[in-house]
Amino acid sequence: MLPFLLGVPILEKIAAPIAPIFAGRTGSQLFLTDGKPNKPPLLLRMASNCEDGKFIAALGAFSCRILYANVSYDHMVGWRTSSIRRETELVKPPRRSLDGYKHVVDVEYCPPVLSDGPHFPPEAAKAKEAAQNAPSTQSTVEYHEILEEEMIHGLQQLGWKKVDVSFHSAFWPFFAHNNIHVKNEWLYNAGVGVVAHVAESLKQQESSTFIAANL
């Protein structure tokens, strides 16, 4: 769930039903309640190759896929979600930044995991219907856990480079969601080291592509 809900049951219960009021169709898509109960939601379809599009095949066309994830202080996207990891796969991150890249604390290459892709099992359809029509904290959590695992299966079919970022030592750590991409140079400049890491990663990728093309 969204970190800013703080795990408060009443907030988690009402968030999904009222999200479409404030965010329209996007709100229901973010809470995985879009579409008919027996149809997989958009975000699950986007972790697969389906009749709507070859999403995983398109991602696989890139020679390199890099994730940048805030390990803490991100009020919109949790570390587990942004780094495509299960709760059991989260380990305490280093406290020190990598040399030359302030607030970038770890880089991990995760090879592809063999899988037949995500599915939308009958229990997920039943849980989705409950989340749409009679949401409760328990049913919503169960539904999200089912789909989270399925989406992980889909996305981990590809290899990823995962870059963990921590703004715990920044002057305004609670701005992590905007710091990581320097939304505003004046207010969110704590993330300049992250942007430098992105630039260097792209430069290295271009160099390796150029070398390979000339072999």
How many domains does one find in the chain? 1
The span from the CA of 44 to the CA of 50, in Å, is 10
**DSSP letter, residue 38:** T
Angle CA(199)–CA(205)–CA(206) in degrees, nearest 5?
90
The span from the CA of 30 to the CA of 140, in Å, is 13
Torsion of CA 186, 65, 26, 172, to 10 degrees: -30
Whether residue 23 is predicted with pLDDT greater than 70 in this model: the reply is no
The span from the CA of 74 to the CA of 214, in Å, is 43
Give me the pLDDT at residue 188, please.
96
pLDDT digits (tens, 9 = 90+) for 116-174: 889 999 999 999 998 888 877 777 888 999 999 999 999 999 999 999 999 999 999 99
Whether residue 49 is predicted with pLDDT greater than 80 in this model: the reply is yes
Q: Which two tokens stand for residue 191?
A: 């993330």
Read off the pTM.
0.86
The residue segments making up the domain with residue 148 are 3-213
The span from the CA of 120 to the CA of 122, in Å, is 7
174, 75 contact by CB (below 8 A): yes
pLDDT digits (tens, 9 = 90+) for 92-113: 999 999 999 999 999 999 999 9
Whether residue 5 is predicted with pLDDT greater than 60 in this model: the reply is no
Distance of alpha carbon 100 from the chain centroid: 25
